[in-house]
Amino acid sequence: MTRKGRRWAIVLVCGVGLGSATALSLLAFSSDMVFFVAPSDLAANGQPGRSLRLGGLVEAGSVHRVSEGGEPVAHFRVTDGKASVDVSYTGILPDLFREGQGVVTLGTLRPDGTFRASEVLAKHDETYMPKDVADALKKAGMWDPTKGPPPPAATWNAMATRTAG
Amino acid sequence: MDAIALIAPRAGRGLHRFANPGRFLRLAGAVQPWLTGSAIIVTAIGLYWALFISPADWQQGDAVRIMYVHVPAAWLASMGYAGLALCSLASIIWRHPLADLAAAEIGPVGAGFTALCLATGSLWGKPMWGAWWVWDARLTSVLVLFFLYLGHIALVRAFDEPQRGYRAGSILALVGVVNLPIIKFSVDWWNTLHQPATITLMGAPTMALTMLWPLLVCAIGFTLVFAALVVARTRAAVMERRIRALLMARSEASA
């Protein structure tokens, strides 16, 4: 074996070893790598009093904004399609907060099964579309942002050129 | 670029070492003006298109324009690291002298693009998510990439004898490669605040074409800027090394 061949062998063996070690550690820690838990996880094994992040979609028609003692309080339900949790939050919500939007809330589960959030982050999806396209889709009845993600981009890209031309 | 000539196996001894960098200097000297010129023109067109002509997003408004800098910077941060790792491989396997220099010069450029990606991401995150920074898997793995770049920059320059620095740096760079798939797939493997990829190899991009085209032009422009910076820095490093060798030879001759 040449010296070059030996160096190749060393690099490959180290690469395989390091790669599998990393993969195994990531697998072992995968439950700690998640940024938030879903409402169905919380329903299965949520412990009241522990601080955690709850993430999911804001359920359509569930948002109620009230004023308690001069402070804006928002009540809404966070759902993952299987389970949903009542969340209350005192403070100003991010601009992107709306029904059907993904959110991540930091807070604690209370004994009555509701979630008291101290922080609400909006999570936007990987779709980007201009306002006129979104309006056209909503007008055509092809998409309701409060109900779920938009249809595939191929359908509205074709529509956008049709309306433009 | 004559990739085969650059990566071809070399004995790497004596005067032979500098034969290859010499060819690189001639080639890179001819390419540099075109590379720099096209980098400036394409980036200017892309940024003007992205910042002034392309439409605002339906829910993010004008803040979406940060994407046209953030996404190309993020791609280049990862691709630059892949280039750094390839140079390190060529350095370890073939002891290629030009790969050593190129690796040392990619580091600061890649770190700059990673810093740009982190800074624009933070500026984008505050108005959209409501937080400058969160410790989710995507953001954390990109921060690790930034530290890998910084570590490489420091390591290759930390030794009196440059060869030892190059060797240590290339080992660090190759070990750091495990971070690249983690960055790429972090948004798919774990739930993160950062959204998954819009543009994927399989499947259509989930983005309006009026936004996709300026993004692609910006990405090409940023890639040309990256290449122009690396080529210019590597040329300077080769010339610096030659000047040092000449000065050494002269001082030895006069002594």
**Which A residues in the span 7-36 are in contact with B, Cβ-Cβ below 8 Å?**
7-8, 11, 14-15, 18-19, 22, 26, 30, 33-36
pLDDT band at A160 (very low <50, low <70, confident <90, very high): low
**Which B residues in the span 89-108 are in contact with A, Cβ-Cβ below 8 Å?**
89, 92-94
Query: ipTM strictly over 0.90?
Result: no
Among candidates B212, B228, B223, B217, which has minimal Cα distance to B45?
B217
Q: What is the 3-state secondary structure (H, E, C) of B159-172?
A: CCCHHHHHHHHHHH
pLDDT band at A162 (very low <50, low <70, confident <90, very high): low
- pLDDT score for A92: 86
Q: What is the residue-averaged pLDDT of chain A?
A: 86
Global confidence as pTM:
0.89
d(CA A26, CA A22): 6
CB pairs under 8 A between A and B: 127
CA distance A153 to chain B (A): 5
| Residue A16: CA count within 13 A, CB half-sphere | 5
Task: For residue B194, count other CB atoms closer than 10 A to its CB.
Answer: 21
Q: What is the pLDDT along chain B (255 residues), one digit of tens a residue?
A: 444 444 444 444 433 454 477 888 998 999 999 999 999 999 999 999 999 999 999 889 999 999 999 999 999 999 999 999 999 999 999 888 889 999 999 999 999 999 999 999 999 999 999 999 999 999 999 999 999 999 999 999 999 998 999 999 999 999 999 999 999 999 988 889 999 888 887 778 888 889 999 999 999 999 999 999 999 999 999 999 899 999 999 999 887
Sort strands A64-68 and A71-79 into parallel, antiparallel or unpaired. Answer: antiparallel
Mean pLDDT of A92-106: 90
d(CA A18, CA A23): 9
pLDDT band at A161 (very low <50, low <70, confident <90, very high): low
- Which chain A residue has its CA at the smallest distance from B197's CA? A126
- pLDDT score for B167: 94
Whether residue A165 has pLDDT greater than 50: no
Both tokens assigned to B160: 């009196």
- pLDDT score for A159: 66
Q: Tell me the per-residue pLDDT of A122-159, one tens digit each, with 9 for 90 and over.
A: 988 888 988 888 888 888 888 888 877 888 887 777 76
Q: What is the DSSP string of B141-192?
A: HHHHHHHHHHHHHHHHTS-SSHHHHHHHHHHHHHHHTTHHHHHHHHHHHS--
Give the one of B55, B94, B128 whose C-beta lies nearest to A130's C-beta.
B55
- pLDDT score for B15: 37
CA dihedral B104→B37→B242→B161, nearest 10 degrees, is -10
Residues whose CB is less than 8 angstroms from the CB of residue B185 and which lie 6 or more positions away in sequence, other chains included: none
